[in-house]
Amino acid sequence: MLNSIIHPSSIISNNVTIGNGVYIGPNCTIGFPNYNTKNEELLNVDNSLNKVVISDNCKIMGNAVICQGSLIGENNRIDYHSYIGENVKTGRNVDVKYGSRIYANVKVGDNTSISSFVAKNCIIGNNCIIQGNIFHLFKDVVYGEDEPAPIIKDFVFIGMNAVVIGSITVAEYSYIGASAVIKKDTLPNKLYIGNPAKEIGKAPSPYKKRPFE
């Protein structure tokens, strides 16, 4: 915890490991179960399987929540009022924008920016910019069983208010325009717009810089 700053108003479980150069702002809650956890499981908050790791040089801004079992990679920025569910794994240089919601078991690659809702069990690749929402299909759902989640490959751009729905794969370098609705697998390096979304040509060039620079 060398050179780390933790605001005294934040609540941090003793199952949390904090790296060097970390900033944790006011009113954060880190290392506790989410609202679906059964009462008897609340007694096991300090179980070693539920450890949280906040890696070096992360910034956790005010009123953020990071649930038990999550690993926040180096140089992440978790913005104000953001929610990170249980067992989420983020890579290096990830930027979670203001008020975003990332639910349980999501995996996020390096250099990715998220400013939206990401459903449970999604996989998001490296160098992505996710401004739209990623949802399950909620069709023929069996209670207690996880529905397959979308997979977002590397260098994908998902525009503002776009929606990716169901157990589909958004291919590398796909560009999903604002307000598009994606319900089928996309092709690499293609541009999609509309509802339902249609492929209309080659995708614009992806961003090369870290998304929060």
Q: Where in the chain is the domain with CATH 2.160.10.10?
A: 1-115, 125-207
Burial class of residue 102, CB neighbours in 10 A (0-12, 13-18, 19+) = buried
Round the CA-based radius of gyration of the chain to a whole number and report it: 17
Res. 207 pLDDT band, cuts 50 70 90: low
Separation of alpha carbons 193 and 118, rounded Å: 20
Q: When comparing pLDDT for 183 and 36, which is higher?
A: 183
Res. 70 pLDDT band, cuts 50 70 90: very high
Q: Quick check: helix, strand or coil at residue 169?
A: strand
Res. 143 pLDDT band, cuts 50 70 90: confident
pLDDT exceeds cutoff 50 at 116: yes
- Give 125-207's CATH code, choosing from 2.30.30.140, 1.10.150.120, 2.60.40.10, 2.160.10.10: 2.160.10.10
The fold of 1-115 is UDP N-Acetylglucosamine Acyltransferase; domain 1 (2.160.10)
Pairing of strands 16-18, 52-54: parallel
Stretch 123-134: mean pLDDT: 96
Cα angle value 40/43/49 (rounded, 5°):
105
Of 119, 149, 115, nearest to 132 (Cα)? 115
Of 64, 78, 88, 85, nearest to 114 (Cα)? 78
Structure tokens at 3: 């050179």
Structure tokens at 41: 């499981």
Q: When comparing pLDDT for 168 and 146, which is higher?
A: 168
pLDDT in tens, 1-28: 899 999 999 999 999 999 999 999 999 9
Res. 145 pLDDT band, cuts 50 70 90: confident
pLDDT exceeds cutoff 90 at 184: yes
Pairing of strands 181-182, 95-96: unpaired
Stretch 110-116: mean pLDDT: 96
pLDDT exceeds cutoff 80 at 33: yes
So what's the pLDDT on residue 1? 84
Stretch 46-69: mean pLDDT: 90
So what's the pLDDT on residue 212? 47
Q: What is the mean pLDDT of the chain?
A: 91
Separation of alpha carbons 155 and 124, rounded Å: 10
pLDDT exceeds cutoff 60 at 193: yes
List, in order, residues 6 or more apart from 194 with CB less than 8 Å away. 177, 180, 181
